[in-house]
Structure 1
């Protein structure tokens, strides 16, 4: 004789916890969406303002309040201290980001402190990584750089450590790169208006292709909201179906014919 089992209490507790947890995570993602939307709106507002002249020295702690702010700086590139971060893909092609210190000492002759900042000039193809392959990118005169002031990045666990002594850079550690080149820990991303023909011409000559002046933060919170709320609803229905079943099933006798 075999009879139906009672509901497993531990299983029911776990099943009940899933929709509650998923619902809470969905609500949290709603808050995150609001935060990310407000943050992007703040950055967009900074983008439409006229560029600010970069002062001779910048407090790294103040950069947070100027993230994505358009700035311009005048000086000379120190190509002898150039760094390549990569590999980086651009339109499916392998290459590197070109980072060059900008020496602004001539612009601020009366200032005795360090005026050099780091400029991310843009992307070059792998075939143009060597400076000898892109002489047109090595401007030796005074230049005016317009770009976005950015906060330092945080390294994720999957990215290998930089090896400055080998010239191997895998991610933009602003403080490490500043120490390596004798610059301020200030990062400017040079910008250019999206222009397909200009990008082709730059790529062929090995001139770095700058980034577009736009906010490029990822915002996947709507998908996360849908996922968590859907999971909460689905598991709630599952729990209802389980609880709807009677706790004890009908007894069924099984006759053994092998006497």
Structure 2
């Protein structure tokens, strides 16, 4: 084995080890993410409690609550739903025991008239959520139409606390907006795809290294 072949084998081995390490790292990340999603799902489905006086966005994210209050008109947030297309999440002002918070009452299609235009007493079971939907490409709101659930900004515009309950069930459920509950479905979990990509690249790298070594060995007699 000449020096050129040895260097190729060493270079190929280093690249193969790196690609395999990245693949196995993504496998470990997949296990971690699945465990995290399972924990979140347990928190979402836990027994509902009354709305706490003091809330922490990290500690109380996904906390199930059961409350009764007065819902009044708020804003609509552009959204899409599977098999439904474009529409809006309907966010109402929700007065609960003297507190004004926000209530995500659910989804309605763009073509469906808005019937959440008056005050009504509602009993809600849902989950607390502080969505992180705003980025540098989010358009500015147009009147009562927003393009992301920017809770601090919406709360300021409606004079409420920056607290959002996403409804799981609404009583009475006589409105066109239907609950769009919190779930783990929208939380990205791409680690399996990344792992497959790295392992595929490792296989390709191995084949290419073997091909280069074979070609060098084939050419070696001609170079002597």
TM-score by length of 2: 0.79
Equivalent positions of 1:48-127 (< 5 A) are 48-55=45-52, 57-59=53-55, 62-79=56-73, 82-104=74-96, 107-108=97-98, 115-127=99-111
Residue 207 in structure 1 maps to residue 176 in structure 2: yes
Any idea what the Cα deviations from partners look like across 1:196-242, whole Å, max 9, x if unmatched? xxxxxx8xx86211124643233232222122112112212211221
Distance 1:234 1:180, change over 3 A: same
Q: Would you say 1:187 and 2:181 are equivalent positions?
A: no
Match of 1:34 among 26, 31, 35: 31
1:221 and 1:148 mapped to 2: Cα distance?
Answer: 27
Which one has a larger percent strand, Structure 1 or Structure 2?
2
Larger radius of gyration: 1
Q: In structure 1, how many angstroms separate the alpha carbons of the residues matched to 2:156 and 2:205?
A: 53
Change (3 A) 1:162 1:21: farther
- Residue in 1 aligned with 2:130? 151
> 2:120 aligns to what?
141
Aligned equivalents of 2:131 and 2:90: distance in 1?
16
Q: Which residue of 2 aligns with 1:240?
A: 210
Which residue number in structure 1 is paired with residue 140 of structure 2? 162
The residue number in structure 2 matching 1:218 is 188
Alpha carbons of structure 1 residues 141 and 99: separation in structure 2 relative to 1, 3 Å: closer
Q: Where in structure 2 are there 5+ consecutive unaligned residues?
A: none
Hey, what's the Cα distance between the residues in 2 that align with 1:20 and 1:181?
A: 56
* 1:63 to partner: Cα distance: 2.4
* 1:191 counterpart SS class: strand
The equivalent residue for 1:175 is: 152
2: CA distance, partners of 1:186 / 1:50: 20
Distance 1:189 1:100 in 2: 11
**What SS is found at the alignment partner of 1:66?**
coil
- Determine the C-alpha separation between the residues in 1 that align with 2:108 and 2:37: 28
Quick one: structure 1 residues 96 and 48, their matched pair in 2 at CA, closer, same or farther if it must change by over 3 Å? closer
SS at match of 1:142: strand
The alpha-carbon distance between structure 1 residues 97 and 213, as it changes in their structure 2 partners (threshold 3 A), is closer
Segments ≥4 residues shifted beyond 6 Å? none
For the aligned residue pairs, the C-alpha RMSD in angstroms reads 3.0
Counting matched residue pairs gives: 214
- Please say if residues 124 and 169 of structure 2, whose CA atoms lie closer than 8 Å, have aligned partners that are also in contact: no
